[in-house]
Structure formats: structure tokens, C-alpha cells
Amino acid sequence: MKLQQSLIQKIDDYIGIEDLSKEMERYRSLTHEKKWFNYMIIYFNCLYHQNENVEEHTISYRQIILGTKAFLDEFNETRNEATIQFLLDLIQFKLDYVEGMSRIP
């Protein structure tokens, strides 16, 4: 199974993209660093509407992904939100999936 399909399946198994997006919008209202949630809302919704080379994106944008992960870790320090933990796990899954891969042509 390709990474895109795996991510969609994990989101669907959790709460689905609509509810996940609503949760991220709620969290976005709780921070001044709105760009992180804006990015995730757009990115995860695009998985459902476009065929993306998620493996290549994960490799190419690794530093940005690590920045997102660091932001979520800090955001969740005092909240302990299940959905934030789900997002952290989803991001880690992406990183683990491409570990050892080189750039994909």
C-alpha cells in the first residue's frame, strides 16, 4: 500500500477527514502559530482529492515536517489532546515509512 493510501486509511479509521479538519481548525484558534494548522488542514485534505507523491514530499520536506512535529509536541505539552497525539503519530508514521529511501525520481 502506498503511503498516501495508508495515511487516508489511518485518518478514516480515527475520525475521518471532516472531523479531523474541524479539530485542527479548533486548535488553530488556540495558537498564534496558525500556519502549522493551516498547512496540515490543506495537506491532509489534499490527500483525498489529488494523487500525491507523498513519499517524495516526505523526503523533500523532511525539515518542515520535523518543524511541524516539534510545534505539535510543544502545543500538546499542557493539553494532552488525543487528536494532537494522533497527528504526531501520523507524522512519525510518514517519517518512518520513508526512512532509508533516497529521492524518488
For the chain, the maximum distance between any two Cα atoms, rounded to a whole number of angstroms, is 42
Output the tens digit of pLDDT for each of the chain's 105 residues: 799 999 999 999 999 999 999 999 999 999 999 999 999 999 999 999 999 999 999 999 999 999 999 999 999 999 999 999 999 999 999 999 999 886 544
For cell 502559530, the residue is: 33
Distances (CA, A) of 4 to 47, 59, 70, 87: 7, 14, 22, 15
Q: What is the pLDDT of residues 71-83, one digit of tens each?
A: 999 999 999 999 9
The reported pLDDT for the residue numbered 65 is: 97
- Residue 98: which of 68, 58, 53 has the closest Cα? 58
AA letter at 40: M
The reported pLDDT for the residue numbered 102 is: 65
